[in-house]
Amino acid sequence: MVKIKKWGVLIFCFFIFTGIVWAENIEVYFSPKGNCAEEIIEEISKAKESINISMYYFTSRELADMLVWMKERGVKVRLYLDKSQETGKYSKASFLMNNGIQVKFKSGSGLMHNKFCVIDDKTIITGSYNWTKNAEERNDENVIILHDSDVAEIFQKQFRKYWGEDLETNIKERTEYQEVKKKKPERKEESRDVELRENFFTSIKPPLMNFDMDIGEEFMDSEDDELETGDYKYLTTTLKLDQKINFRLDYTVGIKQRWKDYEEKNRDNQASIIFLDMNYRLSEPWTLSFGLEEEIKSYKDIGYDYNEHGIWTRIEFEKMPWQTWFKTGYALADYKNIDNDKKDFFYEVGTSRYLFSKQSSLDMKYKFFLRDYERTGKGNKIKQAVHVGFKHQF
């Protein structure tokens, strides 16, 4: 009887121990309101080598941005999607391919109805959850995250079959990669702080340089302001550096050169603008931005010069191919030649229509200014502007 009890205790402890280990290897989440997308993003962020995805529907901009971010960090990202995603209105397939990610589509009859992701041959994300906004916010779905290299190999084998990949070649490449990895010198033990700092800086890619050209026409209506009123054409060129910190946060620094040509008055001017923009992507499709600007403007025909210091914030809603935003800010202008300093509180509503790709767009916006002349006693004045233009990024 004593022996039976001892064996019973051992068996009970074994099942308790294995049950704990099993629970640690599996995570289960439900939507809506289960933060499934955040959990998927967290797992994807841990990838070091590869992310292979087989998905029926893929329309989530948030998850698409994360995959682009991982690809830029050197992770190999591949997707195999249902054929409906090749031309689907909200599909992120084109966005991913335009950012250098490999995407293939199922051909032939039947649906590609899988929903799984394999990360580094050791983690699987699967369940009923398509990578869509509806799955996150409306549908009753489940996400299962499994950390098991043996099970991951089964899913990986199926993905390679879909991809049309030669199994022997794949095994050879992986073997060579593992041998190279083994030859790397072992790192000495370092503090956790140093390791985290190194991982942070090595994950940041060099900034990208872009050149923009913006051309269009504005009509400015201002109370008692002879300098800035009337119809004029403008040309703006921008040289900028775009730097991603992570898939949500990025910043841009650059310089603009702007020329304005008034049709009826000798008020032609040019300006040089140094700027810093910070952009934080909220939940899809919202982005919050902050900016600082320093402008030096010169009226060539009348000899007026001034410096303007500005700060602004902007909330943006993007639903391809449209982009809509609301912007508000404050600017202080300091004239060098005349006693005419002024403050502007401004509000702007605008919309853009992308053409062919995100490199080109038609822009329309309306600006409303509340202007206060500090020293001249002119008081508050209202200033309005309607803007129509074409913008292209080279």
Supply the DSSP string of 271-322, one letter for each residue.
EEEEEEEEEEE-STTEEEEEEEEEEEEEETTTTEEEEEEEEEEEEEEEETTE
Residue 180, number of CB atoms within 10 A of its CB: 9
Q: Give the whole-angstrom CA distance, residue 44 versus residue 32.
A: 20
Does residue 334 carry a catalytic annotation? no
Q: Which two tokens stand for residue 185?
A: 């010198």
Cβ density class 228-259: b for 16+ within 10 Å, e for less: bbeebebebebebeeebbebbebbbebebebb
Judge contact between 250 and 276, C-beta under 8 A. Answer: no
Does residue 309 carry a catalytic annotation? no
Q: Which of 83, 120, 122, 341 is catalytic?
A: 120
Q: Which of 6, 113, 172, 319 is catalytic?
A: 113
Does residue 120 carry a catalytic annotation? yes
Residue 344, number of CB atoms within 10 A of its CB: 18
Q: Which of 92, 115, 256, 383 is catalytic?
A: 115
Q: Give the whole-angstrom CA distance, residue 96 versus residue 101.
A: 5
What positions carry a catalytic annotation?
A: 113, 115, 120
